[in-house]
Chain A
Amino acid sequence: DTAVSQTPKYLVTQMGNDKSIKCEQNLGHDTMYWYKQDSKKFLKIMFSYNNKELIINETVPNRFSPKSPDKAHLNLHINSLELGDSAVYFCASSQDIGDYGYTFGSGTRLTVV
């Protein structure tokens, strides 16, 4: 069983469209994250949720809206997609906030054309 699963794996869409990426973890973890990895492989935190509550929002444009219906799911909705949104988006989870390693999903490669 996949611990952290993201869908879709690849997403190609036109500028201006709205799209969603879904993430689910079956580890029983309390905390989930979205990271963005750009073409230079820099990983940047976007959002963090702990028990469905938003705890981190790192100056991400408000076109990005995370939603956590329960602590096993953290979805990412993006409105009005722009060329600069093209990147690989990784979902991750950890047991809790603090001294815990993260488990990452395999990533969603978003290409905006």
Chain B
Amino acid sequence: SQQGEEDPQALSIQEGENATMNCSYKTSINNLQWYRQNSGRGLVHLILIRSNEREKHSGRLRVTLDTSKKSSSLLITASRAADTASYFCATDGHSSASKIIFGSGTRLSIRP
């Protein structure tokens, strides 16, 4: 079963705008990760945020985590055409750190 659910399923924005994607999950976690997948390629790890962290930054990416609401958001600022991809959140199970379970993904399209 899917642990994480991304919202929205698809997002189309103008280049230069900010993109926000949300992820909700069901069980307690040790960490939550965000990945990017370009069409026909493998997944690329973007950020890992631990359950005791609330916010993390990496370049134009900002991830927040609210464990009370079991949700996370990924913000991409000043979007570029190269950001067009699918974005997945993934969570480990609190009692099973030996695997991560992926959400269904958000397809992000950046219009030039």
A residues neighboring B (CB under 8 Å): 4, 31, 33, 35, 40-45, 48, 50, 55-56, 58, 90, 92, 97-107
- Report Cα–Cα, A44/B90, bound state, in Å: 11
A-B pairs with lowest CB-CB distance, top 10: A101-B45, A104-B42, A43-B102, A104-B43, A106-B42, A97-B98, A45-B99, A99-B31, A98-B97, A101-B48
B48–A100 touching, CB < 8 Å: yes
Chain B interface category by residue count: 20 to 34
B101–A45 touching, CB < 8 Å: yes
B43–A102 touching, CB < 8 Å: yes
A105–B30 touching, CB < 8 Å: no
- Report Cα–Cα, A105/B88, bound state, in Å: 16
Q: Does chain A have a CB within 8 A of B71?
A: no
B residues neighboring A (CB under 8 Å): 2, 30-31, 33, 35, 37, 40-45, 48, 50, 86, 88, 97-102, 104-105
- Report Cα–Cα, A99/B35, bound state, in Å: 15
B33, B41, B88, B97: the one contacting A107 at CB < 8 Å is B41
B48–A41 touching, CB < 8 Å: no
- Report Cα–Cα, A99/B49, bound state, in Å: 9
- Report Cα–Cα, A41/B43, bound state, in Å: 12
